[in-house]
Structure 1
Amino acid sequence: MLLAVDVGNTNVVFALFDGREIRSRWRVATDPRRTADEYAVWLLQLMKLQGFDPERVRQILISTVVPRALHNLQVLGQKYFGIDPLVAGQPPVDWGFVADVEQPRSLGADRAVNTVAAHAKYEGDLIVVDFGTATTFDVVDASGAYKGGIIAPGINLSLDALVTAAAKLPRIAIAPPQGNNRSVIGRNTEDQMQIGVFWGYVAMMEGLISRLREEIGRPVKVVATGGLAVLFDEHTSIFDHVDTDLTLDGIAILAERVAAR
C-alpha cells in the first residue's frame, strides 16, 4: 500500500492507497515543529482504529509546499514504517511534464502534482482551480505541459484579513447569504459581508476563468479541487469537473511511475 502525504500551508493530509483506490485519509494542521514521534502517535493510532496494519505500507511519497515540515515526515517514514519516503519533485520522482514558464523551479509541488493528475484523468486543454490557502488557477495544455496560471488570496485568507483589519466586523461562515441567497443587496452587516466575500469570490473566479478561456483560444475544461470546490460548484456553472482527490491522485500516479521503473 502507498501512504501519500500532501503537505499544504494549512493542513497535512495522509491518504492510504491500495492501487488507485483511497482506503482512508486523515488530516492534521500543518505545524513544521511537529516531530516524527508526534505524527506517529496520532497516525498509527488512527490507522489501527480503522483496521489498517502499518506494516502493509510499502511506499511513502510526500508532496510539500512547506519545506520545514519535510524532515520530520521523512523521519516518520524511516523510524516507524522502515521506509525512506520519496519526495515529489526530487529524484527519482520527476514531474514528467514540461513546465513552460519563466521560472520552472518556482512551481509549487501542489500545482505540479495537480498538473500530473489533471492531464492523466482528463483530456484536452485544462484549467485547474485549487481552493487552498491561496486559490490557484493553472493552465495545462493538451500535451500535459504546464503553461502558467494565476495565484489569488484564498477566501478564508481574505475573510481573516477583513475581520482582523476592521474592529467591528464579526467573523462569518463561508456560505451564501440565507434567504434569498441570489440577492446582492444586504440588509444587515452579516449578509453584506457574506455577499461581499462569497458572491465577490464567485465573480472573481468567473471573471478570471472567462479571461483565461479567451486567452487560450481553444475549447478548455475547468477542473476544480480543494475543500471548497463542492460548495462553489453549487452556485456557479464554470466547473466541468469537481475532483476533490486530484492532488492525492497525482501523488499516487507519481508513486506508480517510480514503482514501474
Structure 2
Amino acid sequence: MIFAVDIGNTNIVIGVFDKNEIIFNSRLATDYQKTTDEYAAIIMLLLKNSNIEPSNIRGVIISSVVPQLVYTFTKFSKKYLSRDALVVGPGLKTGVPIKLENPKEVGSDRIVNAAAVLKHYRYPAIIVDFGTATTFDVINEAGEYIGGVICPGVKLSATILHQKTAKLPEVEIEKCDRVIGSNTISSIKSGIFFGYLSLVDGIIEKIINEKFKNTDPCIIATGGLGSVFMGESKYLKRYDPNLTLNGLKVIYEKNA
C-alpha cells in the first residue's frame, strides 16, 4: 500500500492506494498549529476505521504548498508508519518537463496534477484546479508543462466579500438556477457561481485561442469545488476528484 498526502492551504487530502486502486481517502482542515501527534491521532483512527493496517503501508509520498507542515508529516511518516517519506520537490523525478523561466516557482500540487494527466489522460491538456486558488495549468502537445493562470479561489472570494463588507453574509457555494437574485443571499450566490463560471470558461477560451486554435485539448477539472461547475460550464466535461492523489502515486512509482 502507498500512503499519499497532498497538503494545501485550506485542506489536507490523504489517500491510500492498494496497487492502483484508492481504497481510502479523506480530507482534513489545514491547521498550522497542530502537532505531528495531533494529526496522527486523527489519521490513525481514520485508518483503523477503514480496516487499514499501518504496517501494510510500504511507501509514503507528500506534496505540500505549506512548508511548515512538511516536517510535521515527514515526522508522522517516520514515527507512525516507520517509513521515510518522499517529498515532491527538487531532486525528485516527476516525469513532467517544465518549460518556464524558473521551474522552482511552480507549486508542487500543479506538477503533481500534470504528472497524473500525462499518465492517465491525453494531451495537450488544460487542468482547472478549484482549491484555495483556482489554477489553470497548460500542457502542450509534447507533454511539456508550459505555464498557466492563478486566480483567487471561489471560497476565498466569498469569505473576503463577507469579511470586508458590513452587511453581506457568507454563503455556501452551490449551483444557481437563475442569475437575478430575489434577496441578498441569492444575489451573492448568483454572483459567485455565475461570476466564476464566466471566469473559468472565459480563461479556458482565451488559452485555447492563444495556444490550441487548431487542436482539441483535454480539459480536466479537479479540486473540492470543481463538481459545482460541472454540467454548467461550456468547457468542463471531466471532473477527477482524485487527480492529485493519482499524480502522487505516479511520482512515487518513478522514484521508488
Q: Distance in 2 between matches of 1:13 and 1:195?
A: 29
RMSD: 1.2
The match for 1:36 is: 36
Contact 2:231/2:237 (CA < 8 Å) preserved in 1? no
**Deviation for aligned residue 1:187:** 2.2
- State the secondary structure of the residue aligned to 2:248: helix
The match for 1:197 is: 192
Q: Distance in 2 between matches of 1:24 and 1:254?
A: 19
**Deviation for aligned residue 1:77:** 0.9
The match for 1:246 is: 243
- State the secondary structure of the residue aligned to 1:235: coil
Counting aligned pairs with the same residue, the percent is 39
Contact 1:115/1:144 (CA < 8 Å) preserved in 2? no
The match for 2:105 is: 106
TM-score (norm 1): 0.94
**Deviation for aligned residue 1:255:** 0.9
Q: Distance in 1 between matches of 2:190 and 2:26?
A: 32
**Deviation for aligned residue 1:170:** 1.6
**Number of residue pairs the alignment of both structures matches:** 254
Q: Establish whether residue 133 from structure 1 lines up as the match of residue 119 from structure 2.
A: no
Q: Distance in 1 between matches of 2:201 and 2:179?
A: 16
The match for 2:84 is: 84
The match for 2:208 is: 213
The match for 1:124 is: 123
Q: Distance in 2 between matches of 1:188 and 1:40?
A: 44
Runs of 5+ consecutive residues of structure 2 not aligned to the other structure: none
- State the secondary structure of the residue aligned to 1:68: helix
**Deviation for aligned residue 1:233:** 0.4
The match for 1:234 is: 231
Q: Distance in 2 between matches of 1:170 and 1:124?
A: 42
TM-score (norm 2): 0.95
Query: Which is worse superposed, 230-239 or 243-252?
Result: 230-239
Contact 1:116/1:144 (CA < 8 Å) preserved in 2? no
Q: Distance in 2 between matches of 1:94 and 1:160?
A: 37
Runs of 5+ consecutive residues of structure 1 not aligned to the other structure: none
The match for 1:185 is: 180
Contact 1:7/1:13 (CA < 8 Å) preserved in 2? yes
Measured at CA, do residues 223 and 113 of structure 1 come closer, stay the same or move farther in structure 2, by a change above 3 Å? same
The match for 2:252 is: 255
- State the secondary structure of the residue aligned to 1:101: coil
**Deviation for aligned residue 1:235:** 1.6
Q: Distance in 2 between matches of 1:33 and 1:185?
A: 42
Moved over 4 A (4+): none
Q: Distance in 2 between matches of 1:60 and 1:124?
A: 28
